Amino acid sequence: MLRILARSLIPCLILLAPMLGRAQTPEPQKTHPEDSVSPGSITRSPLEKSPYEPITGKQRVEWFFIHTVGPKSLMLGTVTAAFGTAQNKPVEYGPHWEGFGKRYGMRFTGVATGNAVEASLGSLWGEDPRYFRTSGQRVPRRIGNVIVKTFLARRRDGHFAPAYARFVGIPGNNFLANTWRADSEANVSSALIRTLIGFAGRMADNAWQEFSPSLLHRRRR
């Protein structure tokens, strides 16, 4: 399992290295939007109240680590690996702890590679991988925002466009994983299924970010 994790993390760190360097540069001091923003330099969604600020190199690196080794990602990896072990799928890994470790490692390699590609490749044209939640809107519109933002991402000027880096990262890591996965799932159909699951997972993560703050706030009240 450690060999699998190292195999995925080293290429990811190489992809993120340019942003790690930029992350050390001091960020410009923020001022009040009315004092510093020229007309048309940033935009806001009709569902969002605050103006958009482009993502920095440091924030890209933080996004990668939160979505790769953050508590939510690690917990989900544990659940999926446990489910696969209970079902003994793929059968080559076996139904025991060793098989659990292999399944966990395989899931981790895909997540790490896909996130690294999305964060690094998207920086070339200013694609922002972050999800921006809405507030003060009806639930159907917020659900629509969750779905749409699975396939769209912000650019430097604030407008939304197709998330091309995501379209490369999610399918790319799943087809690349065919080179080291078990034979029973190292095929085109399995890679396509994993790709669909990857986009469904991103949509579920968007929904969590959209609604969990509201639910926690209501619970506290």
| pTM (2 d.p.) | 0.77
User: Rounded CA gap, 185 and 134, in Å?
Assistant: 38
Percent of the chain residues topping a pLDDT of 90: 67
Per-residue pLDDT tens digits for 160-218? 999 999 999 999 999 999 998 999 999 999 999 999 999 999 999 999 999 988 777 66
> Which residues sit opposite 162 in a β-bridge?
152
Query: Does pLDDT of 151 surpass 90?
Result: yes
Q: What is the end-to-end Cα distance of the chain in Å, rounded?
A: 44
Confidence grade of residue 29 (pLDDT, cut at 50, 70, 90)? very low
User: Cis (ω within 30 of 0) for the bond into 90?
Assistant: yes
pLDDT mean over 62-66: 95
- Per-residue pLDDT of 11-22, as tens digits, reads 555 556 566 555
- Examine the pLDDT at 3 and tell me if it is beyond 50: yes
**Per-position DSSP letters for 93-114, written without gaps between them:** G-SSHHHHHHHHHHHHHHHHHH
**Nearest residue to 212 (alpha-carbon basis) of 158, 141, 138, 135:** 135
Using alpha carbons only, how large is the chain's radius of gyration in Å?
19
